[in-house]
Amino acid sequence: MNWYAIFAIYVLFWVISAFIVLPFGIRTPDETGEAVLKGQADSAPSNFRPGRVMLRATILSAVLFGLYYANYVEGWVKLEQLPGYSRSN
């Protein structure tokens, strides 16, 4: 696997991880006791911290990519082992 492929796959893992960790730790104004501003949705977060989301996404994506790469090198799970996969020639 070349470096471009490794980087591209890691970026995909990072984006997916960012969407996974995005809702954790978010509080609405009702939960924090803050006043809702005019034009603000009731469900809008009042304590959004993008740095924390990026850190969590980086950690999760590193773990997931590490498992993916270890499986790629070691061959623990192969396509033939997955249900519904049939090799047609």
**Can you give the pLDDT at residue 51?**
96
Q: What share of the chain is helix, strand, coil (3-state, %, to 5)?
A: 55, 0, 45
**Can you give the pLDDT at residue 19?**
97
- 35-56 pLDDT, tens per residue? 888 998 888 898 899 999 999 9
Residue 84 pLDDT grade (very low, low, confident, very high; cuts 50, 70, 90)? confident
**Can you give the pLDDT at residue 89?**
55
Burial class (CB in 10 A: 0-12, 13-18, 19+), 39: exposed
Please determine, for residue 88, whether its predicted confidence score (pLDDT) is greater than 80.
no
Question: How high is the mean pLDDT of the chain?
Answer: 92
Close Cβ partners of 47 (under 8 Å, ≥ 6 residues apart): 25, 26, 27, 32
